[in-house]
Structure 1
Amino acid sequence: MAPAPYAFVEHDAIRAQLDRADHLRDDPAALSALWPEAGVILLDHDGLALADEQRRLCAPRGTDLTGGPGGVGAAVFLGLDAQGRAWFCLDAELTAFQAPGRSDLRGAATHWPRFEAALFAQARAVQHWRQRHRHCGACGGALQFHKAGWLARCTQCALEHYPRTDPAVIVAVSDGERLLLGRQSSWPARRYSTVAGFVEPGETLEQAVAREVLEETGVRVRHCQYLGSQPWPFPGSLMLGFIAHAHPDEVRTSDELEDARWFTREEVRAAQAREADPSLDDGEGLLVSPRLSIARWLIDRWAAGDAGGA
């Protein structure tokens, strides 16, 4: 099964592929009954998923592992698929299960089927939160996990902690004729992408769009429109995608960007063509974001003239 583009993005389907089944998280008996036939994603300490020789997902059934969902080290319940099969994730070190390979999240997003990649993204985000939340931020007490891994309760003050998702805006900025793109120094040569940044406390999404674009490029946003979102578990963000209409200001760079500039539709479409046919790449011109990201989805929509009139 070939992966769909934008592996974590579900702009074309409101209905999720996984029922997270929150009502089961507090039902140990029901989870134990689901465990034997459940699929279990095993993650190592670095967040890599166990995989086969071709780096495809290697997810044993619960019955292939020792004990139940609590007895093998508090497996995290992810949800039920369309066939009613349960899915869990578990630290690989807590089992004796062996697999020949590993896959990172970016590789999975590119090569795995969308459902498996989305499960991996969910599992990795929860694992990252659990690894970094061992003690209560209020009193320092040790935390214990409940609700099938989705709630941490302090053993001293009883304060409850939940997985954190950080909202970030990502925006395709246009002056009507051109698209504003920037690049970081760590990126491959010639690669540019859309402007992005985290939402600050007390700020609306629209205010965050205008502030981030101005801070990073000096361009003034006139107004913006929300288009779609993408979970971005690197380690725990939610990317909120916008198209913004801006003044045709001269671009200046900031500490965050090595370079930023306006690109014409012809330049963006040429970059798309180079990706589709590498033989067209002569080592010159723009390279755009990989297809696993919402940044690329925004760029493609603008290049096609389908971005709120921008």
Structure 2
Amino acid sequence: MGDAVPFPQRLDGFAFAGSPAFDRADALRADAAALRGLWPDARLLVLDGEGRAAADAEGRVLDLGGARLGGGPGASTFLGLSAGQAWFALEAATLSGVDVPRWIDLRSAAAQWPADLASLFAYARGMLYWHARNRYCGVCGGSVAFDRAGFLGHCAKCGNDHYPRVDPAVIVAVSDGERLLLGRQPGWPPRRWSVVAGFVEPGEAPEQTVVREVHEETAVRVRACRYLGAQPWPFPGALMLGFEALAEADEPRVDGELEDARWFTREEIGEALSRDGSEPEGLLLSPPISIARSLIRHWHANGAMLTRA
């Protein structure tokens, strides 16, 4: 046997990764009696039509429980259990008699709330976004009713069932062995650059997407790639699959989604990672809550784990 290939260092430091201790408790979703029993002691996340969460005056998650609302779960979505306590998500339109001092968006919550709460917020936002855009059957146009605590949409007209979905996408730190490839999208803040990303197409493996997307967007040819980690990205419902890739030292060319792409040296990346964004000039990278930033930081700290033969 040959030498073992070391497993890549796990990416961390980005938001919405969830907690291993959180139990989604799938078996309870169809148990209406059990959910009613959990409701009085449950914690609730209330989201408005813009996907913002109810918060107190200081911007912390609103301390709202099932006992305060009374009744039962009704049309709320059961998220799961944390240390035995149930969490539900519900739309603000269904809420009455509760004063909400402030509404907080998901990016702000990711920067201010504990990581597990921000992950729950992202989870809730993804579920309610799916509900809001699937009230009618995509097959026949009939009305959809949600069952299994919000995880099943059923069309009474044609009988088709609908399930929550996410859109897989790759996001990749591409290196030629010495430099890192970054691109710019039109409409981004001035000086902002990030790693290449794109959605997985039907019939395509993520590794194939890496090769295709990098070449389509930058004309750079990828030789090899390796998966490093994933981030749920609920804007609105993607799953970002993080890769590192080794590529030829091709001159980047753009013709489509990106307005520019170029190679950056390790020194340039290091200087950018040291900035807080308030500086009047210099390269700006993706925000700290994103897996993009973690991929860039990982490359800068470790270099490309993939090396040329």
Q: Provide the TM-score with structure 2 as the length reference.
A: 0.92
Q: CA deviation at 1:9?
A: 3.0
Matched, 1:285 2:262: no
Structure 1 unaligned residues grouped into runs of 5+ = none
**1:289-304 matches, cutoff 5 A:** 289-304=286-301
Q: Name the counterpart of 1:93.
A: 93
Q: From the superposition, tell whether residues 307 and 120 of structure 1 become closer, same or farther in structure 2 (CA, over 3 Å).
A: farther
**1:96-245 matches, cutoff 5 A:** 96=96, 97-245=98-246
Q: CA deviation at 1:157?
A: 1.7
**C-alpha distance in 1 between matches for 2:131 and 2:177:** 45
Q: Name the counterpart of 1:37.
A: 41
Matched, 1:260 2:261: yes
Q: CA deviation at 1:269?
A: 0.3
Matched, 1:308 2:309: no
Q: Residues 182 and 194 of structure 1 are in contact (CA less than 8 Å); yes or no, is this contact kept in structure 2? A: yes
1:6 to 14, 28, 48: 14
Q: CA deviation at 1:66?
A: 3.6
Structure 2 unaligned residues grouped into runs of 5+ = 1-11
In structure 1, what residue type is equivalent to 2:25?
Answer: A
Q: From the superposition, tell whether residues 207 and 154 of structure 1 become closer, same or farther in structure 2 (CA, over 3 Å).
A: same
**C-alpha distance in 2 between matches for 1:306 and 1:118:** 29
Q: Residues 13 and 294 of structure 2 are in contact (CA less than 8 Å); yes or no, is this contact kept in structure 1? A: no
1:27 to 26, 31, 54: 31
**C-alpha distance in 1 between matches for 2:246 and 2:208:** 14
In structure 1, what residue type is equivalent to 2:236?
Answer: P
In structure 1, what residue type is equivalent to 2:264?
Answer: F
**C-alpha distance in 2 between matches for 1:120 and 1:307:** 34
Q: CA deviation at 1:307?
A: 4.5
Q: CA deviation at 1:284?
A: 2.7
Q: Residues 191 and 288 of structure 1 are in contact (CA less than 8 Å); yes or no, is this contact kept in structure 2? A: yes
Q: From the superposition, tell whether residues 112 and 118 of structure 1 become closer, same or farther in structure 2 (CA, over 3 Å).
A: same
**C-alpha distance in 2 between matches for 1:234 and 1:184:** 16
**C-alpha distance in 2 between matches for 1:28 and 1:203:** 39
Calculate the aligned-residue CA RMSD, in Å. 1.4
Report which stretch shifted further, 46-55 or 228-237.
Answer: 46-55
Number of aligned positions between the proteins: 295
1:51 to 52, 55, 63: 55
**C-alpha distance in 2 between matches for 1:151 and 1:9:** 24
Q: Residues 38 and 85 of structure 1 are in contact (CA less than 8 Å); yes or no, is this contact kept in structure 2? A: yes
Q: CA deviation at 1:141?
A: 1.5
SS in 2 for 1:77: strand
Matched, 1:63 2:67: yes
Q: Residues 50 and 59 of structure 1 are in contact (CA less than 8 Å); yes or no, is this contact kept in structure 2? A: no
Q: Residues 42 and 59 of structure 1 are in contact (CA less than 8 Å); yes or no, is this contact kept in structure 2? A: no
Structure 1 stretches of 4+ moved >6 Å? none
Q: CA deviation at 1:305?
A: 1.6
SS in 2 for 1:251: coil
Matched, 1:247 2:248: yes
**C-alpha distance in 1 between matches for 2:153 and 2:180:** 44
Q: Residues 17 and 115 of structure 1 are in contact (CA less than 8 Å); yes or no, is this contact kept in structure 2? A: no
**C-alpha distance in 2 between matches for 1:214 and 1:65:** 54
Q: CA deviation at 1:174?
A: 0.2
Q: Residues 231 and 237 of structure 1 are in contact (CA less than 8 Å); yes or no, is this contact kept in structure 2? A: yes
**C-alpha distance in 2 between matches for 1:17 and 1:61:** 21
Q: CA deviation at 1:306?
A: 5.1
Q: CA deviation at 1:183?
A: 1.1
**C-alpha distance in 2 between matches for 1:99 and 1:61:** 14
